[in-house]
Amino acid sequence: MYELVFWRYLEGFYLNHQEVYEAIIEQQEVAGLEQLPTIVILNRINSVFSKWDKVDENSWKNPNGKGAFQVEATPQSIQIDCYGTEGKTMNLLVDTLAEFKCPLYDPQVPERYDEMSE
């Protein structure tokens, strides 16, 4: 499994990414994060991956190759667990969330890919 996590900071806030990630995983609300339009984001992911099989409300499977992913949304974050998913598919997910100004936090590295990264 490869995990992709997304959130937006409120203007003027910039927190420790790892601590934010840990709070998100525990489904805790984090002061300094924006509320996300999660239904709109899920609808957009569904549109982008319309040729994929929708396994359930938040899971997709590639019918023509390898890979599947599951999306878990909280009011402040989107977490995508990728299973055997190719890099180009993960990049498409990252690009889709970028449309909503939600940069990727990659907990495997760990690194957040936004304009404020050091």
Which CATH number goes with the domain that contains 42?
3.30.310.250
Mean pLDDT on 53-76? 96
* Residue ranges making up the domain that contains 22: 2-113
Question: How far is Cα of residue 1 from the mean position of the Cα atoms in its chain?
Answer: 14
pLDDT in tens, 9-31: 999 998 999 999 999 999 999 99
- Helix (H, G, I), strand (E, B), or coil: what is residue 52? coil
pTM value is: 0.94
Burial class (CB within 10 angstroms; exposed 0-12, middle 13-18, buried 19+) of 51: exposed
What pLDDT was estimated at residue 117?
46
* 107 domain residue, yes or no: yes
Q: Is the pLDDT of residue 83 over 80?
A: yes
- Averaged pLDDT of the chain: 94
Mean pLDDT on 50-77? 96
* 118 domain residue, yes or no: no
Q: Is the pLDDT of residue 118 over 60?
A: no
Give the position of tokens 């990264």. 117
Split into its structural domains, the chain has a count of 1
